[in-house]
Amino acid sequence: MQVAETNTAVREETARVFFAIWPDAAAQRRLAELAERLETVCDGRKVRAENIHLTLVFLGEVSVDRLDALCQAANEVQGAGVRAFDFAVEEIRYWKHNRIAYAGTVKVSQELLDLVSALQSALSAAGFSFDRQAYVPHITLARKAKCPAPSIEFRTGLPELAQPVVWPVREWVLVKSGQANGRSGYTPIGRWPLV
């Protein structure tokens, strides 16, 4: 938790939070292997296996007094017709501007878009603000990466997947981001099932 200074000099306790989906154990293993390879190929810093995730909506600093209201808003989404789906990672990609190597999906499933959109609507209705940029699903695998030039081994400069990494998405979570035991990490503070 952080203590934020407001312009009225009132100190407010906040938490850095976001909604996300975590891979199941088998997908986590494969994504962690890819992160390991990217650390070598791109000379980057891999994301640790337990931290690999897909962000749905990032809120940033929220007053701890508002976390119950945030969970209430998320409860509303359950009645909005969201459904379970399979998430498929088909490609490893690279953003030069922030030097992030990530796992991406070629065909974004409608169920994922519906979930994000229902969540955004519920959060807006409850008075929460968040980044409204078009949603681009991505799973960060390595930071401070330098994507190498294409080679015989890597046609795009990045490892290619022989098989997509697919997992059944059966829940989404609210996560607090921050330091724990001296390492940056995430702590789930709410869970919602998808059926």
Q: Please report whether residue 16 would count as binding ligand ATP according to CB under 6 A.
A: yes
d(CA 123, CA 103): 27
Q: State the Cα torsion 133-135-141-147 to the nearest 10°.
A: -70
Beta carbon of residue 131, minimum distance to ligand ATP (angstroms, whole number): 4
Q: Please report whether residue 28 would count as binding ligand ATP according to CB under 6 A.
A: no
Q: Which of residues 124-153 bind ligand ATP (CB under 6 A)?
A: 131, 140
Phi, psi of 115 (to 5 degrees): -65, -45
| Closer by beta carbon to ligand ATP, 13 or else 153 | 13
Beta carbon of residue 16, minimum distance to ligand ATP (angstroms, whole number): 5
Q: Please report whether residue 55 would count as binding ligand ATP according to CB under 6 A.
A: yes
Question: 3-state DSSP call for residue 164?
Answer: coil
Q: Residue 120 in contact with residue 113, Cβ under 8 Å?
A: no
77's enclosing H/E stretch is: helix 67-78
What x/- string results for residues 65 through 104 when contact with ligand ATP is judged by CB under 6 A?
----------------------------------------
Token code pair at residue 187: 């702590």
- Find the binder of ligand ATP among 184, 187, 188, 191 (CB under 6 A): 184
d(CA 183, CA 144): 17
Nearest alpha-carbon partner for 165 in 9, 30, 19: 30
Beta carbon of residue 177, minimum distance to ligand ATP (angstroms, whole number): 3
- Find the binder of ligand ATP among 12, 37, 58, 189 (CB under 6 A): 58
| Closer by beta carbon to ligand ATP, 13 or else 131 | 131
- Find the binder of ligand ATP among 177, 190, 192, 194 (CB under 6 A): 177
> How distant, in Å, are the alpha carbons of 82, 84, 119, 149, 155 from that of 115?
6, 9, 6, 37, 34
Q: How many residues are listed for the chain in this entry?
A: 195
State the residues that interact with ligand ATP by CB under 6 A: 16, 18, 55, 58, 131, 140, 177, 184
